[in-house]
Structure 1
Amino acid sequence: MDRPAIVLVHGTRFARGQWQPQLPALAADFPVTAVDLPGHGSRAAEPWNLDRAADIVAEAVRDLDAGPALVVGHSLGGYVSLHVARRHPDLLAGLVLMGASVATTGPLTVPYRLFASLVARLPAARLTRWNDRLLRRLYPPEVVDATIADGYAFHTLPVAWRDIMGRFDASSLAAVRAPVLILNGERDRLFRSGEREFARARPGTRIELVPGAGHLANFDNPAAVTDAVRRFARELSPAR
């Protein structure tokens, strides 16, 4: 196998269906899969645990049976992917961090702790209706139908966010052995705010911005995200 497998890791409240816009296109060139993290999608009944989340990604890499994989993590999934690099470094051929290059330490975490607390108090049915309406208003069905069908892990959001707070900063990237691409929406001002610090922590790390995209870059500009992941994966392939 001269092309790395790709494992896609979803963000906060979503599940594997988030990668609906990317999976078919990437599958034409690479072994590829998307996972559900604990408490999300098909694993909605499973309690959140960061170590378990990283191990699920590791299991997906092994199941593809194609050697070390390129792991692509968005938002929450990006921090999980950094944890994969800690727990299972030999399984990574490369790492793409999307919307996950801001430290989860310090005063910036205060608004997220407050938001997580608010989400825990709101009825899940109401949050689901709001999210469905928002996604349908902003994006075409071929981009978000699978996400809507998966449902939302609002019950997991508070505990998952609390779990990653205080755990990740630029030094987390310094320990990653594999090549790294930081891929952020150009309008994602908050979650790309630490991208240069993260990149400096690991020499050779490249930053790419997705034109016109915000935090949900793979929804805002699906083709550009797919292209960036494909190009990076090809760079990891052995020369022929």
Structure 2
Amino acid sequence: MAADALPMVFVHGTRFSAGQWSTQLAALRDEFPVAAVDLPGHGERSDQPWSLSSATGIIASAVDSLGRGPALVVGHSLGGYAALEFARHHPERLRGLVLAGASAATRGAWTTPYRWVAGLVPRIPADRLARWNDRLLLRHYPPDVVEATIRSGYAFHTLPAAWGEVLGRFDAGAMRHVAVPALILNGEKDSLFRSGEADFARAHPHARVELIPRAGHLANFDAPDAFTDAVRRFARQLTAGR
């Protein structure tokens, strides 16, 4: 690994944990210092209460733990919005930003079903939700891609608080607080979370959009090699541009 290798911190999506990134970490760790975090209320932090403030602190601590200075932060879905909040409050720790499945405004009428789901989830036993998710992941993805996610469990108990804080908070204007190059990396078939990608890109002078062919919202599961390659290429561009 080069002495000036760019550090990377990966931030997971709703209900998942750091295990979501096991494939990416394995593929990138020989070239880059890498880490993946558990957000508050998720994974090994399951007992911690959710807040965006705590989430940004956790990301900052992960960047510092790598000991290489400002990092490329890769956030998926909920983790993408947490990464936007991190960019606003900790710009000195950020070298680049990848937003994956997080380029839709979280305001407006389309969020109504999400608020309904957030209210419904606590009424369903967590073990039943876990079984449904295990079956869903194993039906669609190879075991080696999702086994770390399944093993780490799910944070359904945190979903109402997390969505409750994110919904109504973000739109393309959040990109104006990002002072570093940004890659908006979406699955081609993720029509919902691609809905604002053009607006998010226009709001930032150094942002570009890249699509993962035939992938949906869980693009790093649908096409792990293509997702990893996109992150790797972006990181190399950032390093070359120093």
TM-score band w.r.t. shorter chain: over 0.9
Cα distance in 1 between the residues matched to 2:179 and 2:241? 20
Query: Does the alignment pair 1:152 with 2:166?
Result: no
In the alignment, is the contact (CA less than 8 A) between 1:3 and 1:238 conserved in 2? no
Q: Secondary structure at the match of 1:21?
A: helix
1:14 aligns with 2:13: no
Q: State the secondary structure of the residue aligned to 1:103.
A: coil
8 A Cα contact 2:16 2:149, kept in partner: yes
Displacement after TM superposition at 1:63 (Å): 0.5
Note if contact 1:12-1:157 (Cα within 8 Å) is conserved in structure 2: yes
Deviations 1:28-50 (CA, angstroms, capped at 9, x unpaired): 11000000000000000001011
Q: Which residue is 1:75 aligned to?
A: 77
Identical-pair percentage: 64
Counterpart Cα distance in 1 of 2:120 and 2:213: 32
Between Structure 1 and Structure 2, how many residues are aligned?
A: 240
Contact 1:102 1:193 in 2 (8 A): yes
| Partner secondary structure for residue 151 of structure 2 | helix
Contact 2:63/2:70, CA 8 A, preserved across alignment = yes
Q: Are 2:30 and 1:4 aligned?
A: no
Q: AA paired with 2:158?
A: T
Mapping of 1:60-209 within 5 angstroms? 60-209=62-211
Deviations 1:199-233 (A, max 9, x none): 00002211000011000000000000000000000
Please provide the CA RMSD for this pair. 1.0
CA distance in 2, matches of 1:215, 1:232: 20
Deviation per residue, 1:148-184 (Å, 9 max, x gap): 0000000001110001112110000112001000000
Structure 1 length-normalised TM: 0.98
The 4+ residue runs of structure 1 with deviation greater than 2 A are: none
1:48 to 44, 47, 50: 50
Deviation at 1:238, TM superposition (A): 4.1
> Tell me, what secondary structure is at the counterpart of 2:23?
coil
The aligned residue for residue 212 of structure 1 is 214
* Aligned twin of 1:25: 27
Q: TM-score, normalised by structure 2?
A: 0.97
Q: Report the Cα distance in structure 2 between the residues aligned to 1:239 and 1:96, rounded to whole angstroms.
A: 16
Post-superposition offset of 1:2: 2.1
SS at match of 1:168: coil
In 2, Cα distance between equivalents of 1:184 and 1:102: 11
In the TM superposition, what whole-angstrom CA distance separates every residue of 1:88-139 from its partner, at most 9, and x where no partner exists? 0110000000000000111121111011111121110110000001111111
- Structure-2 separation of matches of 1:99 and 1:145: 21
Counterpart contact for 2:106–2:168, Cα < 8 Å: yes
In structure 2, what residue type is equivalent to 1:152?
Answer: Y
CA distance in 1, matches of 2:25, 2:143: 15
Unaligned runs of 5+ in 1: none
Helix, strand or coil: the match of 1:155? Answer: helix
Other-structure match for 1:234: 236
Match of 1:221 among 220, 223, 238: 223
**Equivalent residue letter for 1:51:** S
**Structure 2: gaps of 5 or more residues:** none
Separation (CA, whole Å) in 1 of partners of 2:122 and 2:197: 30
Q: CA deviation at 1:58?
A: 0.4
